[in-house]
């Protein structure tokens, strides 16, 4: 089996990327060759996502693509789609094995046991009761560092708790050990990743704030960036710590989902818009130039034109750097799917466009507000048409003429001129 060539493709979130990277590295260390998914391979592995219908459709397209690449190949589906609907995937011709969010970490052993006969091993919904750490290291500049998994919240539109299980994590001591492994591989920035990272530590009586305090003391880690954190879990202590600790990046991604309290209640969210606004104000008070991004769902059942405009106007007034807009995607077996007053697809599209236009305005204003400031940039390694790129601490994109000696280094630059996409140009 080990002389077989594997190819991986990941759908979905940073958490999925960190897990695919860890699983692929484990198999490479075990002697497998890993090829690009576009190339011919013996075994194609797709780490799937179930957040939207589109994500599932994309997975089925990739199965067909893999089979076209090599009709003899075995195709393995793992991850969230496999966890919530293994039968549907098992029935697809060409799929050799289906592994959920536990079985995927056992891929090496499952591959060794995979019969060439085409008989599909049984698949079923797996018990998600263990935490398996993971991190990506293929980027060499930044690592998606999985610190938490699962979610205990019950948002009415969301299937993630069914796909990922209850909230769980390792202890702070174990998490620091993994962080040292990452730091040892010359990676300059870690992005703390999970499903509900603010809930880190609950099974062990520890907290996300305590983890951040410990990570901020690790000299080996130069930059620590938070991925998405729930507004009700973003405490004053965490904001204060980010303001006080130079290793913690002034960048917050906070899922708002709606600027209407009526819709937030229907979504089963654990806060109201006043709490969210209070978080933004606190950040701006301590970190005026921080990047504050938010996720927003539009077209949730019951979102009348008036409630949409209430949400739109709240977002317009909020001092955000940009927003990610998600058209409501109905998921089976969710409370929201059984709600009345679903919004017509055309209206959802219109509203998404309105919010995206608002996001562009905010992004432009945020980038311009940084003109003339000095920022530390982490240069990435790619040479893209003679240019290299990087992000500032407050997540602004910059570019400069490619210089190999600067790859994976941190440089203080002055932000003056932007190109037509709002990317700052250094040493033009
Ligand atoms: S917090 Fe809500 S939206 Fe996020 S994963 Fe948990 S249930 Fe889903």
Choosing among 3.80.30.20, 3.40.50.970, 1.10.357.10, 3.10.450.50, the CATH entry for 134-369 is 3.80.30.20
In the predicted model, what is the mean pLDDT of residues 94-123? 81
pLDDT computed for residue 113 by the predictor: 80
pLDDT computed for residue 115 by the predictor: 63
In the predicted model, what is the mean pLDDT of residues 14-22? 96
| pLDDT over 90 at 126, yes or no | no
**pLDDT tens digits for range 395-418:** 999 999 999 999 999 999 999 989
Report which protein residue has its CA nearest ligand 1's atom 5: 160
Please say whether the beta carbons of 100 and 127 come within 8 A: no
Report which protein residue has its CA nearest ligand 1's atom 8: 158
Sign of CA dihedral 182, 183, 185, 186: positive
**pLDDT tens digits for range 184-226:** 888 999 999 999 999 999 999 999 999 999 999 999 999 999 9
Q: Which residue has the higher pLDDT, 298 or 120?
A: 298
Confidence of residue 117 (pLDDT cuts 50, 70, 90): low
| pLDDT over 80 at 72, yes or no | yes
Q: Does ligand 1 have an atom closer than 6 angstroms to the CB of 402?
A: no
What tokens were used for 395?
């997540």
Most informative mutation of 149, 166, 195 for ligand 1 (most atoms within 8 A of CB): 195
| pLDDT over 80 at 428, yes or no | no
Q: Does ligand 1 have an atom closer than 6 angstroms to the CB of 153?
A: yes
Q: Which residue has the higher pLDDT, 27 or 184?
A: 27
Q: Does ligand 1 have an atom closer than 6 angstroms to the CB of 358?
A: no
Ligand 1 centroid – CA 154 distance (Å) = 7
pLDDT computed for residue 138 by the predictor: 73
**CATH code linked to domain 5-113:** 3.40.50.2300
Confidence of residue 121 (pLDDT cuts 50, 70, 90): low
In the predicted model, what is the mean pLDDT of residues 105-126? 74
Atom of ligand 1 nearest to the CA of 158: 8
Ligand 1 centroid – CA 3 distance (Å) = 41
Please say whether the beta carbons of 328 and 300 come within 8 A: yes
pLDDT computed for residue 234 by the predictor: 98
Ligand 1 centroid – CA 317 distance (Å) = 25
Ligand 1 centroid – CA 210 distance (Å) = 22
Ligand 1 centroid – CA 229 distance (Å) = 10
Most informative mutation of 151, 157, 229 for ligand 1 (most atoms within 8 A of CB): 151
Confidence of residue 119 (pLDDT cuts 50, 70, 90): low
Most informative mutation of 196, 232, 328, 336 for ligand 1 (most atoms within 8 A of CB): 196
Atom of ligand 1 nearest to the CA of 268: 2
Q: Does ligand 1 have an atom closer than 6 angstroms to the CB of 160?
A: yes
**pLDDT tens digits for range 288-311:** 999 999 999 999 999 999 999 999
**pTM score, whole prediction:** 0.95
pLDDT computed for residue 67 by the predictor: 95
Confidence of residue 347 (pLDDT cuts 50, 70, 90): very high
Lowest mean pLDDT among 30-34, 145-149, 165-169: 30-34
Most informative mutation of 50, 159, 160, 333 for ligand 1 (most atoms within 8 A of CB): 160
3-state secondary structure the chain: CCCCEEEEEECCCHHHHHHHHHHHHHHHHCCCEEECCCCCCCEEEEEECCCCHHHHHHHHHHHHHHHHHCCCCEEEEEEHHHHHCHHHHHCCCCEEEEECCCHHHHHHHHHHCCCCCCCCCCCCCCCCCCCCCEECCCCCCEEEEECEECCCCCCCCCCHHHHHCCCEECCHHHHHHHHHHHHHCCCCEEEEECCCHHHCCHHHCCCHHHHHHHHHCCCCCCEEEECCCCHHHCCHHHHHHHHHCCCECCEEEEEEECCCHHHHHHHCCCCCHHHHHHHHHHHHHHCCCCEEEEEEEECCCCCCHHHHHHHHHHHHHCCCCEEEEEECCCCCCCCHHHCCCCCCHHHHHHHHHHHHHHHHHHHHHHHHHCCCCEEEEEECCCCECCEEEEEECCCCEEEEECCHHHCCCEEEEECCEECCCCCEECCC
Atom of ligand 1 nearest to the CA of 151: 6
In the predicted model, what is the mean pLDDT of residues 361-390? 96
| pLDDT over 80 at 124, yes or no | no
Q: What percent of the chain has pLDDT over 70?
A: 96
Ligand 1 centroid – CA 150 distance (Å) = 9
pLDDT computed for residue 120 by the predictor: 61
Task: Tell me the domain boundaries of the chain.
Answer: 5-113, 134-369, 374-425
Confidence of residue 39 (pLDDT cuts 50, 70, 90): very high
In the predicted model, what is the mean pLDDT of residues 341-345? 97
Task: Please indicate whether the domains covering 5-113 and 134-369 agree at the CATH topology level.
Answer: no
pLDDT computed for residue 118 by the predictor: 54
Q: Which residue has the higher pLDDT, 124 or 137?
A: 137
pLDDT computed for residue 310 by the predictor: 98
Confidence of residue 112 (pLDDT cuts 50, 70, 90): confident
């Amino acid at each position: 089996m080990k002389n077989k060539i594997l190819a991986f493709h990941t759908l979905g979130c940073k958490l999925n990327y960190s897990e695919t990277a860890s699983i692929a590295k484990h198999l490479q260390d075990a002697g497998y060759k890993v090829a690009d998914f576009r190339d011919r391979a013996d075994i194609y592995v797709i780490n799937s996502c179930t957040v939207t219908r589109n994500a599932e459709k994309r997975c089925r397209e990739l199965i067909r693509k893999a089979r076209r690449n090599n009709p003899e190949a075995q195709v393995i589906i793992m991850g969230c789609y496999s966890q919530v609907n293994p039968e549907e995937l098992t029935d697809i011709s060409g799929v050799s094995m289906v592994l959920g969010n536990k079985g995927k970490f056992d891929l090496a052993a499952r591959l060794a046991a995979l019969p060439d006969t085409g008989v599909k091993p049984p698949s079923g919904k797996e018990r998600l009761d263990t935490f398996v750490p993971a991190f990506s290291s293929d980027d060499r500049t930044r690592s998606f560092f999985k610190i938490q998994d699962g979610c205990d919240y019950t948002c009415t539109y969301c299937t993630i708790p069914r796909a990922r299980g209850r909230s769980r994590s390792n202890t702070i001591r174990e998490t620091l050990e993994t962080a040292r492994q990452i730091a040892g591989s010359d990676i300059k920035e870690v992005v703390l990743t999970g499903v509900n990272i603010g809930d880190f530590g609950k099974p062990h009586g520890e907290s996300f704030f305590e983890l951040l305090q410990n990570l901020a003391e690790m000299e080996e880690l130069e930059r620590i960036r938070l991925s998405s954190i729930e507004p009700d879990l973003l405490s004053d202590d965490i904001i204060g710590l980010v303001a006080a600790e130079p290793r913690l990046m002034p960048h917050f991604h906070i899922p708002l989902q709606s600027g209407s309290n009526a819709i937030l209640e229907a979504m089963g969210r654990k806060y109201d818009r006043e709490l969210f606004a209070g978080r933004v104000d606190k950040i701006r008070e301590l970190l005026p130039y921080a990047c504050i991004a938010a996720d927003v769902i539009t077209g949730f059942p019951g979102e009348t034109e008036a409630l949409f405009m209430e949400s739109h106007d709240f977002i317009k007034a909020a001092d955000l750097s940009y927003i990610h807009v998600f058209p409501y995607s109905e998921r089976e077996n969710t409370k929201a799917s059984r709600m009345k007053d679903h919004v017509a697809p055309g209206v959802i599209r219109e509203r998404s466009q309105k919010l995206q236009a608002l996001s562009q305005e905010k992004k432009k204003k945020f980038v311009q507000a940084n003109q003339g400031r000095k920022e530390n940039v982490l240069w990435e390694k790619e040479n893209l048409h003679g240019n290299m790129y990087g992000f500032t601490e407050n997540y602004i994109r910059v570019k400069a003429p490619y210089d190999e000696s600067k790859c994976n280094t941190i440089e203080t630059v002055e932000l003056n001129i932007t190109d037509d996409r709002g990317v700052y140009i250094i040493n033009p």
